[in-house]
Structure 1
């Protein structure tokens, strides 16, 4: 019984450390405030999504307001004025960070959402990005 309790406490400690790392790991703008080169069309990836939409002069600022109204979402780097902004959105329970970079390219916006941890985001980024696009088009 003593060994089982010790194993249980070690397991709990490992889980707490992992959750702490997920919540507290720094988000380096040099790493995450970037856009893949050569993207000109929509792409679904296992841990993220890319969407390209037509944009008018105020589309980025309108999308920025929509994104910032999303719960647990904060800007990481860039500004609307610079033409590229990266946001961090954390999951409600576990605090997993997802990064979304939006860049203005001529008459288009390229939106790249991706998960930091894991090989699959289970479609979370696609759903979030498409929700933002729907809200943008509705407004």
Structure 2
């Protein structure tokens, strides 16, 4: 009986792991440019949005930010658009996807990153976006 329970639990874990990896991404979020649009850091449950004036950032900030995002481990660019540039980063263990959207509007660089499944990301998206901006500013 105990072996059956363990077998069922192992099977559920495997099915869950496969489901997270093969579930389609929400298409509407791959090109959305969500608010808020005011300058600053805007945390949310499961994500973050950072809006910074281009005048405070190095030259070609959008292009550099896109390159930095693309160089992030376990990150894949979705499409080839720059308005917005969209990336999916997957967690190491379960391959949970996080969608990051990067664009320029009204003289500001917008970077929004948010989880796809669940409600809380334990600060993973905020840490990732902070690293991206730190790297961008280190190149100035």
Fold similarity call, TM over 0.5 = yes
Listed as ranges, the matches of 1:85-96 within 5 Å are 85-96=85-96
Using the TM superposition, name which of 31-40 and 127-136 deviates more. Answer: 31-40
The two structures, once aligned, show a CA RMSD in angstroms of 1.6
Listed as ranges, the matches of 1:43-82 within 5 Å are 43-55=42-54, 58-80=60-82
**SS of the residue 1:12 aligns to:** helix
Structure 1 CA distance, aligned partners of 2:31 and 2:4? 43
- TM-score calculated relative to the size of structure 2: 0.88
Structure 2 CA distance, aligned partners of 1:49 and 1:38? 10
1:122 is matched with: 122
Which consecutive aligned stretches of 4+ in structure 1 deviate over 4 angstroms post-superposition?
none
Q: Deviations over 1:62-113 (max 9, x none)?
A: 1111111111111124522xx3111000111211111111121021011111
Structure 1 CA distance, aligned partners of 2:98 and 2:16? 17
Residue segments in structure 1 that go unaligned for 5+ positions in a row? none
Number of residue pairs aligned between Structure 1 and Structure 2: 135
Residue segments in structure 2 that go unaligned for 5+ positions in a row? none
Deviation at 1:29, TM superposition (A): 3.0
